[in-house]
Amino acid sequence: MRFLSVCSGMEAASVAWEPLGWKAVGLSEIEPFPCAVLAHRFPNTPNYGSLTEYQSWPLSIGDVDLLCGGTPCQSYSVAGKRGGLNDPRGQLMLSFLDLAAKLQPKWILWENVPGVLSSGQPCGADFATFLQGLVERGYGWAYRVLDAQYVGRCGMHSQGSGWDAVPQRRRRVFVVACRGTGGWESAASVLLKPESLCWHPAPRRKKGQATAADAGAGFEAGSPIAFRKSKRAKSTTDNETWVVADASNTLNNFDLGDTRTTHAVVGAVYENHAQDSRITGPLDVAPTVAAKFGTGGGNVPLVGAMAVRRLTPTECERLQGFPDNWSQIPWKGKPADQCPDGPRYKCAGNSMAVPVMRWIGEQIARVELSLNNPTK
């Protein structure tokens, strides 16, 4: 299978599909650091640059079997201003459709945040525009919201997958489209497995199974550790720092057990909301890896048993299913071991989860085999 990956980031598609023997004929990325990651990891695969310039790319009908990409989500996310198709970033959805019209690949895979389902006026108009655009270009489609914590060998889609589900809650919309007569049936066969159509879903993962400890070294559960705020709790907005406690803070009338508390006990993975120091947990899985990790953004887990700290870039890569230090590259004249953390966090947060992409690729391969060999 020859595929073209656009809005590539640090390229989950190639990592996921290399074991299937699939080959990327090209990539598309414009951000400087992800471009450097692509050049370092895939030196023989061309990066065609901006998706808006697809007309100049040296590709034509017959060069690509599958087009994949997750166009920018910021304009659709409920965490943003939700400009939708009025935002230039959101309009890349339309460029993606036009690229599909130019190349006419048999398969399309598109990913975005769940907020795209309700973006636009009336509610959901932007997503409807995308789906209608697929139909107008000759594709039948199916879509599904998949959560990375359940997709893989340890998750609800275990059959046929050799990849572990990552211990991260990460819900994303995936659209699979297939060109030609019966395309919608082929697309549905990829995303909707028979047991789910018959109302026999796989059993839910048991509580505590496949926790964030599975992400590797650094996620260590142990005896509960006491923490205290280094400043007294004063309000719901003070951005206070948690430190290991030899003794508790003085009890006072601000300690109501909510956002103003000065005490915490941590022995597992918790979630720290940076804007007000709230702690929630313990969690079975890590919160969604976000591009703002490492910059003071929210959803930064607290990790026991030794200290309260952020996830490291390597841990974020593991939570997305990448090999360790995938984004640790030579950068701005400095060696890889001096690569800054900030752009690595952003790369991880903007990526797709590798096991989810691997599972979808396996399902496409399975459907392709059945189409080419109807008796099997």
User: What is the set of active-site residues?
Assistant: 73
Structure tokens at 123: 């509610």
Distances from the Cα of 245 to the Cαs of 33, 210, 224, 250, in angstroms? 39, 29, 12, 12
Nearest to 117 by CA among 81, 155, 76, 151: 76
Q: Which runs of consecutive H residues, i.e. helices, occur in the chain? A: 12-17, 32-41, 92-103, 125-136, 183-191, 194-197, 313-319, 341-350, 354-372
CA torsion 75→359→10→128, rounded to 10°? -20
User: What is the DSSP secondary-structure string of 20-69?
Assistant: GT-EEEEEE--SHHHHHHHHHH-TTS-B---GGGGGGSS--TTS-SEEEE
Q: Which runs of consecutive H residues, i.e. helices, occur in 154-252? A: 183-191, 194-197
Under 8 Å CB-to-CB from 58, ≥6 apart: which residues?
none
**263-266, strands of its sheet edge to edge:** 242-244, 225-229, 263-266
